Amino acid sequence: MNLNTIAQVKRPKSFDEIEWRDGHAFLAGGTWLFSEPQVTTDTLVDLEQFGWPALTVTPAGLEIAATAKIVELHDFKGPADWKAVPLFDKCVDAFLMSFKIWNAATVGGNICMSLPAGAMISLTAALEGVCTLWPREGKPREVSVVDFVTANHQNVLRKGELLRSIRLPAAALTKRFAMRQTSLTHLGRSAALIIATVKDDGSDFLLTITAATPRPVQLRFDRVPASEALRRAIDERLPPDGYFDDVHGSAAYKRHITHYLADQIRAELA
């Protein structure tokens, strides 16, 4: 849609060029920004000219630029021992997808939207991602993806702060994984997207619950837990009203489905 409040689009080549003030908004893929009126925004700051490389493999893991497109993540082929890379595709498929989202939406834009059904949040949280944030003043800071999202459509970004990149550690990328996702309607928005990872020797089982909850919830176990222990741990962490109640599923439904899918994942990785 046309945004009739926008008076200017800035295309800076570096972060230092930006003189931030109220009314500015970062423009990434624009798939959300252009999907509804932005009445408090008069200037878009386009991130495209920064020219950051989308995906960089290093011995420490994978660095994903915030501006990396969903399609670039889909096309990524990692080193042979990164067994978790097929999870990228599975999470991309979990999107309520259109041509526009596939080709224009960015990984950073999805994380900054901080919606419960943000599939890039599910992916990067499950793979123990760490966000690098560039504040307006001072040094860059790092926040895990799990802690980045604080509630539905809320996160730790301060005014004018930019999400620069997300780093996935090699240790997480080499783990085995299992994932389950469900929606109330065919191709609908996720009601639950649950992922677990585990090391080859059965240690370090990490369960990440997303979409069913307003923000990602993570539970770590030394080894793959027994069914009852997993159920108990989820209930201890998530009270019945800790689930996200919306048109894509009631809290009670999401609680039920979380237990059901988490136990399937547990059995698959055991």
Ligand X SMILES: Cc1cc2nc3c(=O)[nH]c(=O)nc-3n(C[C@H](O)[C@H](O)[C@H](O)COP(=O)(O)OP(=O)(O)OC[C@H]3O[C@@H](n4cnc5c(N)ncnc54)[C@H](O)[C@@H]3O)c2cc1C
CB neighbours (10 Å) of residue 17? 11
125 is a contact residue toward ligand X (CB under 6 A):
no
Select 97 or 233, whichever has its Cβ closest to ligand X.
Answer: 97
Candidates 73, 85, 117, 261: give the one binding ligand X (CB under 6 A).
117
Residues 140-199 that bind ligand X (CB under 6 A): 157, 162-163, 189
Of 53, 64, 48, nearest to 12 (Cα)? 48
**Residue type for position 89:** D
Q: Distances from the Cα of 100 to the Cαs of 34, 89, 158, in angstroms?
A: 11, 17, 28
Of 49, 98, 154, 227, which lies in the binding site for ligand X, with binding defined by CB under 6 A? 98
Residue nearest to ligand X (CB): 109
Q: Return the number of the residue (96 or 171) whose C-beta is nearest ligand X.
A: 96
| Angle (nearest 5°) at CA 19 between 14 and 25 | 85
Q: Does residue 101 bind ligand X (CB under 6 A)?
A: yes
| 172 token code pair | 């997480």
Q: Kindly state whether residue 244 participates in binding ligand X, applying the rule CB under 6 A.
A: no
Query: Interface with ligand X by CB under 6 A: which range of 7-15, 85-93, 113-121, 178-186?
Result: 113-121
Question: Using the rule CB under 6 A, is 123 a contact of ligand X?
Answer: no
Q: Tell me the one-letter amino acid at 236.
A: E
129 is a contact residue toward ligand X (CB under 6 A): no
Smallest distance from ligand X to CB 50, Å: 9
Q: What x/- string results for residues 61 through 80 when contact with ligand X is judged by CB under 6 A?
A: -----x--------------
Question: What's the min distance (Å) between Cβ of 138 and ligand X?
Answer: 16
Strand duo 61-65 + 190-198: pairing: unpaired
List, in sequence order, every residue forming a beta bridge with 106; answer none if it has no partner: 69
Partnered with residue 207 across adjacent β-strands are 196, 219
- DSSP lists the bridge partners of residue 91 as none
Work out whether 29 is an interface residue with ligand X (CB under 6 A): yes
- Does residue 130 interact with ligand X by CB under 6 A? no
Type of residue found at 58: T
Return the CA Rg of the chain. Answer: 19
Helix axes 251-269, 227-237, angle to 10 degrees: 140
Q: Could you give the CA distance from residue 169 to residue 253 in angstroms, rounded to a whole number? A: 34
Shortest distance, position 42 Cβ to ligand X, whole Å: 13
Residue of 106, 122, 197, 218 that binds ligand X (CB under 6 A): 106
Alpha-carbon distance of 83 to 163, in angstroms, equals 27
Identified binder of ligand X from the candidate list 112, 146, 166, 179, rule CB under 6 A: 112
Cα atoms in the Cβ-side hemisphere of radius 13 Å centred on 187: 3
Window contacting ligand X (CB under 6 A); options: 20-28, 177-185, 222-230, 252-260: 20-28
Q: Which residues contribute to the site for ligand X (CB under 6 A)?
A: 25-33, 35, 47, 66, 95-96, 98, 101, 104-106, 108-110, 112-113, 115, 117-119, 157, 162-163, 189
